[in-house]
Amino acid sequence: MIDCFTKEEYRWLSNMYPVVINVKGHEYPSVEHAYQAQKSSEPSWIKLCTTKNISSKQIKIYSKTIELRKDWEEVKLLVMEHCLKLKFTQEPFKTALLLTGNQNIQEGNYWCVDLKVNPNVGENHLGRLIMKIREELK
């Protein structure tokens, strides 16, 4: 099982890992940047999210201060899946993901499970989406 994206071996699975993602005509330096940008259609927010010298972690923190689009709760998983597909259809990510075989993938954060409290409790949205994409790539 792959249960931590912060370990060097699997760091590339993280949404924070550098990769160019193009969404709606904008180029983002990571999945996290692209995902956070979709929370609002405010041009200044989108521009900030395309900034390469602002870390993924900072964009995530800044996103807590913006007004979310009204349908965010309904579309956020679809947005994440779209951003992940843009990443994992690119090399070297595609091949690396396929090389994980049938390993279960989960990461301990909001999108997944709280590995510190109980590794068997949580939605594992991120892991499930990545594994779904892996199956589609096969």
Domains identified in the chain and CATH numbers: 8-137 (1.10.357.40)
Tell me how crowded residue 46 is: count the other CB atoms within 10 A of its CB: 19
How do residues 19-43 score in pLDDT, each as one tens digit? 999 999 999 999 999 999 999 999 9
- pLDDT of 135 above 80: yes
User: Which residues are CB-contacts of 82 (< 8 A; sequence separation ≥ 6)?
Assistant: 23
How do residues 44-99 score in pLDDT, each as one tens digit? 999 999 999 999 999 999 999 999 999 999 999 999 999 999 999 999 999 999 99
Packing angle of the helix pair 125-137, 72-88 (nearest 10 deg): 40
Q: Are 106 and 113 in contact (CB under 8 A)?
A: yes
Q: Which residues on neighbouring strands pair with residue 27, listed in sequence order?
A: 22
Per the listing, tokens 């990571």 go with: 30
3-state secondary structure of 21: strand
How do residues 91-124 score in pLDDT, each as one tens digit? 999 999 999 999 999 876 555 555 555 555 567 8
- pLDDT of 129 above 70: yes
DSSP code string of 29-73: EEHHHHHHHTT---HHHHHHHT-TTS-HHHHHHHGGGSPPPTTHH
